Amino acid sequence: MRICSPHCGIDPESTSGGETYERELLRHLAARGAVLDIMLARHQRHPESVPNWVIHRLPIGRGLRWPVAMALLPPLIRRLYARTPFDLLRVHSLRFIGPAALIARRRYRLPVPIVAHHHHLDPSRLNAVIERRVIDGVERLVTVSEFSRRQLVEALGVDPDRIEVVPNGIDERFAPGTGEPVRRRHGLGAAPVVLSLGGLKPRKNLPVLLDAWRQVARARPDARLLVAGTGPLEATLRRRAESLGLGARVVFAGRIAEADKVAYYNAADLFVSPSSLEGFGFTVGEAMSCGLPVVVSDRGALPELVAHGAGGFVCPHGDAGELSRRMLELLGDAELRGRLGHFNRARVDRDFRWDRASRRVLDIYEDVVAEHKRGLRASR
């Protein structure tokens, strides 16, 4: 199968969950024999020497906003199809790529089906204008969680039968191991460590984590909160930690290279995510794969990923008291941490690996292409 996939980005060092999803899914689809024609802006980075990837550079720099994509992409998609016909047109973003894909097919009468992928809806008045129209125009929609499907049904009135749920995969390199280099780097010694890793942005809800950590620090002054990542709220969070009197009890690690992430998970005793919205929750899944117990909020898809009481604890959103109580419970019980972490590792192996996800996605693509060809034959 040959697949055309216009893209905003698949950077090897991206901190975006959506971009990580795209990079890894496309890599694993290619490993299954699919040929990917990936359309990418000139200066966008991508993993090198991936078999079955063909990179086609767009005549723009780094940005690809949806109004630009609507004007730029359709003739380029047509030109690519004329040179090397593909079987499927793939949309990685309903807003950024979806309108351009539909325009290309309609304007140039391309005889190919379109499959769109989706993660979650951010609040926007345009959702009903753009996202809903794209969903109505494509043959199939793939999303990453029951939460994401439910959100589309409730917010946009989408028929749930048109949505396929395929949970994300977690790379097998996320495995238990040593975290000593990270502990040395940040002067953590033998201290109990709770890790938060991800973008420092509003929906991650990190102010409530700092409020909860103030309560943890009173009971366990030896414990350290390791905040790994960067983002627009970094300076604000640093000031908040100081104003709460947390000082050295919170360590801000800054941006973490993709190659170093496994060591950060393994430097921790448990992982915490009080996020307000996750379409899946990559960092939580990665921590689980490394054998960590996790404490998360009850928002978005996190309750689907975390088995409350078996692999960690799901806390009411914004409840700093419950968040701190659960962190203290885990910090005080090594046997409990080990049992929950072991459960998480097995759960990821069973349900959330890329081999499983890519096989299911490719099955959907093949089904859509076969159905489309039957429709073309019937119309002749």
Full 3-state SS string of 90-147: EECCCCCCHHHHHHHHHHHCCCCCEEEEECCCCCCCCHHHHHHHHHHHCCEEEECCHH
Domains 2-169+354-379 and 180-351 agree in fold: yes
Q: What is the CA radius of gyration of the chain?
A: 22
Mean of the per-residue pLDDT values of the chain: 94
Q: Could you tell me which CATH number the domain at 180-351 has?
A: 3.40.50.2000
- Give the pLDDT score at 19: 87
Q: In what order do the strands lie in the sheet with 312-315?
A: 250-254, 224-228, 193-197, 270-273, 294-297, 312-315
* Residues found in the chain: 380
Question: Hey, where are the domains in the chain?
Answer: 2-169+354-379, 180-351
- Give the pLDDT score at 380: 60
Q: What is the number of other CB atoms lying within 10 angstroms of the CB of residue 212?
A: 26
- Give the pLDDT score at 377: 67
304-312's contacts with Cβ under 8 Å and 24+ in sequence apart are 304/145, 304/146, 304/147, 304/167, 305/145, 305/280, 305/281, 305/352, 307/343, 307/347, 310/340, 310/343, 311/340, 311/341, 311/343, 311/344, 311/347, 312/270, 312/340, 312/344
- pLDDT of 298 > 70? The answer is yes
CATH homologous superfamily of 2-169+354-379 equals Glycogen Phosphorylase B; (3.40.50.2000)
Range with the lowest mean pLDDT among 58-72, 150-164, 296-310?
A: 58-72
Bridging pattern class, strands 53-58 and 35-41: parallel
How far, in Å, are 89, 108, 117, 141 from residue 379 at the CA level?
21, 18, 28, 24
Which residue has 């990917």 as its token pair? 36
Q: What is the number of other CB atoms lying within 10 angstroms of the CB of residue 110?
A: 20
169 within 8 A of 25, measured Cβ to Cβ: yes
- Give the pLDDT score at 42: 87
Q: 118 pairs with which residues across the strands?
A: 143
Instruction: Give residue-wise pLDDT tens across range 72-118.
Output: 999 999 999 999 999 999 999 999 999 999 999 999 999 999 999 99
CA-based nearest residue to 317, from 332, 307, 302: 302
Which residues are CB-neighbours of 51 under 8 A, at least 6 positions away? 30, 31
- Give the pLDDT score at 178: 93
Instruction: Give residue-wise pLDDT tens across range 143-194.
Output: 999 999 999 999 999 999 999 999 999 999 999 999 999 999 999 999 999 9
Q: What is the number of other CB atoms lying within 10 angstroms of the CB of residue 11?
A: 18
Binning pLDDT at 50, 70 and 90, where does residue 62 land? low
- pLDDT of 304 > 70? The answer is yes
In the chain, alpha helices (H): 17-31, 66-83, 98-108, 132-137, 146-156, 180-185, 206-219, 234-243, 261-266, 282-289, 302-305, 320-331, 334-351, 354-379
Binning pLDDT at 50, 70 and 90, where does residue 8 land? confident
- Give the pLDDT score at 373: 86
Distance of CA 135 to the CA centre of its chain: 20
Q: What gap in Å lies between CA 114 and CA 122, rounded to an integer?
A: 23
123 within 8 A of 156, measured Cβ to Cβ: no
Q: What gap in Å lies between CA 57 and CA 70, rounded to an integer?
A: 17
Give me the helix-helix angle, 206-219 and 320-331, nearest 10°. 50
Instruction: Give residue-wise pLDDT tens across range 217-251.
Output: 999 999 999 999 999 999 999 999 999 999 899 99
* Signed CA dihedral, 143, 129, 112, 61: sign only: negative
Q: What is the number of other CB atoms lying within 10 angstroms of the CB of residue 117?
A: 24
CA-based nearest residue to 4, from 35, 42, 32, 29: 35
